[in-house]
Structure 1
Amino acid sequence: MFWFALFIGAILFLIAAIHLIWAFRIWWPGGDEESLARSVAGFRNIRKMPSALQCGAVSFAMVGAAAAVIYLGAGSPFGGSVWLQTLCALIAAVFLTRGVLGFTQFWAGLTPEFPFRTLDRKYYSPLCILLGVGIVMILILG
């Protein structure tokens, strides 16, 4: 289960790195701030990316999530601890909730901008669901 946890952790580290790039106000891969905001945030009439602090906070949270998942999957002495299992269960719940939310009319109403709407249903929400299910699998099988 360690290699699977490492794989999930690597995806989370990649997401963290992308958010860190945005925290430094580098608009990759959008080219400019507005097109990136419309692609990755998608909120109604969005023209600017979330603040550097917000992007940095997401990056920090993703690094923490990656570390927790890898630590859980490593089978370390703390791998079976209740606090780490609870933390990973909460992380999984966040990803599963975000993933399912992406397919609701409520979320579509909050995030109507294109291309976000298409990208969310095609990539972002399914990725969140897969990450959540992957973490649950580590919790159960690891």
Structure 2
Amino acid sequence: MIAHFLSILLSSVLGIAGLVHLAWAFGSTFPYANQQALARAVVGRRGITRMPSMAASGFVALCLFAASLWALLLGRLVEAPVSDWLIAPGGLVLAAVFLIRGVIGVLPTFERALPEQPFLRLNRIFYSPLCVFIGLAFFGLTLMMPNWSWRLSLFG
């Protein structure tokens, strides 16, 4: 029951983030007035004036949609023609990716590389903590998978 709730919550968060990135790929500046304000809040590179390309934003959206689907696979809310030996390590990889992004995001080197405001403030209070939550949720979902045989084959 907890796994289903966590799976739906995680998939929803990732799906919404994917939709926002897809909107940006097609030129939306939501929730800001223009490209420069959005880029300063979302990318944070020194002197940035425009959002990344349509392809770059679209690729991030696609990755977020895939991660959203993976959360549903881990929670057993969607069936796939693959076994747990693939689904579980994928969950661990996603956990690692999001946890690393969350932790790196608050390191001084990262902050010096992306100093633009409001990105720096948003990263500290929202982006990095959200990435840590997503990473922990993927880790938890992977550990809650009902079939324990993937653990034996992965670690033994």
Indicate the residue corresponding to 2:73 in structure 1.
71
Moved more, 124-133 or 79-88: 79-88
Q: 1:97 aligned to 2:94?
A: no
**What TM-score, normalized to structure 1?**
0.95
RMSD: 1.5
Q: 1:54 to 1:14 in 2, by over 3 A?
A: same
Moved more, 85-94 or 118-127: 85-94
* Stretches of structure 1 lacking an aligned partner (at least 5 in a row): none
**Percent identical:** 30
1:19 to 18, 21, 27: 21
Indicate the residue corresponding to 1:83 in structure 2.
86
Indicate the residue corresponding to 2:64 in structure 1.
62
Structure 1 CA distance, aligned partners of 2:65 and 2:135? 16
Moved more, 82-91 or 111-120: 82-91
Q: Aligned-pair distance for 1:131?
A: 0.5
Cα deviation, 1:74-118, whole Å, max 9, x if unaligned, reads 165768611111111111111001100111011001100001000
| Aligned AA (1:84) | I
Q: Aligned-pair distance for 1:43?
A: 1.0
Q: Map 1:24-39; keep pairs closer than 5 Å.
A: 24-39=26-41
- Larger Rg over CA atoms: 2
Structure 2 CA distance, aligned partners of 1:82 and 1:6? 22
Q: Aligned-pair distance for 1:46?
A: 0.9
* Stretches of structure 2 lacking an aligned partner (at least 5 in a row): 146-156
Q: 1:3 aligned to 2:5?
A: yes
**What TM-score, normalized to structure 2?**
0.86
Name segments (4+ residues, structure 1) moved above 6 Å: none
Structure 2 CA distance, aligned partners of 1:77 and 1:32? 41
Contact 1:34 1:47 (C-alpha < 8 Å) held by counterparts: yes
Contact 1:71 1:79 (C-alpha < 8 Å) held by counterparts: no
